[in-house]
Structure 1
Amino acid sequence: MNTLPEPDILYQDDVLMILHKPAGLLVHPSWIAPARTPNLVGWLKQQFPADTFHTLHRLDRATSGVIAFVRNDKQAAQTMHQQFIDRRVHKTYLCVVRGWTDPEGSIDYPLTQEKDHFAEPFASDSKPPQEAVTHYRTLGHVELPIPVGRYPVARYSLVEVKPETGRKHQIRRHMKHLLHPLVGDTKHGEGRHNRLFREHFDLHRLLLMATELRFEHPYELKQVKVSAPPDDEVMALFARLGWPDIEQLRENPDLRC
């Protein structure tokens, strides 16, 4: 039985459809998921059966947030794909990571291609690392009186992230590279901290949220900016951690740490 919340439509016109994807929802059907597992493209086809949707980018199943599609128009899809290639689409994320991060920084660390050994059993393992650049700034720190390992307290940071490139799991891998893995990341994270959030906050998801997309409309030549806050579950958690107002943290450096 599907208990995931419904996607929200954030923006739509004749050629664009921008949604808020819930955490846990696949973007496309996957052969590694059980048959009839709900997915975002399937939901769109149910809501708009006369339309054909062109995927522009992806979000991991565990990631929530803003995702864009082109509806029906192949030329618009090609134009938008070129914007992604030219790095003219600007994406913003929020994440919670282990430890206290620096106020701001950039991560310029090439990433090897993450091969899916199930889906791509014969793909080459010898491809060189690809350029990968991520910019970040810290919006908040918190120290919890909960021992983890040999430490008497647990420290976490709320981080705003702007990836310049779009490699697979880039934010998750780059923050791990800084020794600040994302909370809830079962592949690149740290189990003790994931367990802390499950046991003390009843949180069973990855704390990575796509909060904004900005790009040029493929026909109207205007800037499109679509944003969405994290869902109610995440915002309730942020309030408990001392981060009740994300916009104030973004706009006022004195409130951040």
Structure 2
Amino acid sequence: MQSSDTPTAIPETLEVLYQDEHIIAINKPSGLLVHRSPIDRHETRFAIQLLRDQIGQYVYPAHRLDKPTSGVLLFGLSAQVAAELGQTFSNHNIKKSYIAVVRGYCPSHGHIDHPLTEVTDQRIVKSQTAAAQTAVTDFQLLGQHQLDVEIETYPQSRYSLLALQPLTGRRHQLRRHLKHISHPIIGDAKYGRGRHNRYFTEQLECPRLLLHAAQQRFKHPVSGAELCINAPIDTCFAGLLQRFSWQDALPVEWRSKKVTKL
């Protein structure tokens, strides 16, 4: 086992980042499923259920985040609004920014254009009829850190803090793209490196996938206003940034809960 997908207890109350009569955005904690999944049959708590009970009305997810990924998660407060938000994602009329800690030293910036085969809840589809789909990700380097610890081949171990912008929305896109360029995300039990994941869990007190949806910019589906929603990182992630002297590396607007109408 490389790393746990449920590193910390899920809070009883979800952090609401933005709410009006049409939409609501939360800061999804790492380890929480958006909705029931056949691959996690043992799970009994889901973002949809918790948020519904918290605000006293049904909610409809506009997109998804992987279970171990934290950050901005949008819901419609009606099926129609959720469908309109979903179309915004499908048409790529939304700007999403993530932060991630990856293995190795990355260049100052990069453009990953690497098609991906569909991923289901059960497996990566591999057949002659399952053509790979276009998948594009941009990244910028925010920080680098070296540990004088031999985890794999070398006497030192190097890591990078990245800002990521997926320009398409394939499932597990960021995790698979970073693996593709040989800089897997730390804490990724499926696509990452087990020794590094275990070291971060056991020695650095950070037993989670280090991938966070920090910001979303989009047009409100009803009012048409331009919204920018930011989600602060959790205590575990923040502690690692402090340990690696990266606490000032994030853009200022990503460091705290904030909503801006542009």
TM-score, structure 1 length as denominator? 0.89
- Give the letter aligned to residue 101 of structure 2: V
Deviations, residues 1-45 of structure 1 (Å, cap 9, x unaligned) = x93224200000000100001100111022333456211001012
Task: For 1:78 and 1:27, locate their aligned partners in 2 and report how far apart those are by CA, in whole Å.
Answer: 16
User: Structure 2: where are the runs of 5+ without partners?
Assistant: 1-7, 255-262
Query: What root-mean-square deviation, in Å, do the aligned CA atoms of Structure 1 and Structure 2 show?
Result: 2.1
Task: Quote the residue 2:143 is aligned against.
Answer: 140
Kept after mapping to 2: 8 A contact 1:139/1:250:
no
- Give the letter aligned to residue 4 of structure 1: I
Deviations, residues 141-196 of structure 1 (Å, cap 9, x unaligned) = 00001112220000000000000111010000000111000000011001111111
Of 71, 76, 81, the match for 1:76: 81
What is the CA distance between 1:243 and its match in structure 2?
Answer: 0.4
- Give the letter aligned to residue 10 of structure 1: L
TM-score, structure 2 length as denominator? 0.87
Deviates more, 1:55-64 or 1:32-41: 32-41
Identity, % of aligned pairs? 39
Task: For 1:135 and 1:180, locate their aligned partners in 2 and report how far apart those are by CA, in whole Å.
Answer: 14
Task: Quote the residue 2:103 is aligned against.
Answer: 98
Task: Quote the residue 1:228 is aligned against.
Answer: 231
- Give the letter aligned to residue 27 of structure 1: V
Kindly indicate whether residue 44 of structure 2 is the aligned counterpart of residue 41 of structure 1.
no
SS at match of 2:238: helix
What is the CA distance between 1:199 and its match in structure 2?
Answer: 2.2
SS at match of 1:225: strand
Deviations, residues 107-142 of structure 1 (Å, cap 9, x unaligned) = 000001123437x9xx77331000000010000000
Task: Quote the residue 2:155 is aligned against.
Answer: 152
Task: For 1:135 and 1:150, locate their aligned partners in 2 and report how far apart those are by CA, in whole Å.
Answer: 29
Task: For 2:246 and 2:252, locate their aligned partners in 1 and report how far apart those are by CA, in whole Å.
Answer: 8
- Give the letter aligned to residue 145 of structure 2: V
Kept after mapping to 1: 8 A contact 2:143/2:249:
no
Deviates more, 1:242-251 or 1:88-97: 242-251
SS at match of 1:32: helix
Deviates more, 1:79-88 or 1:29-38: 29-38
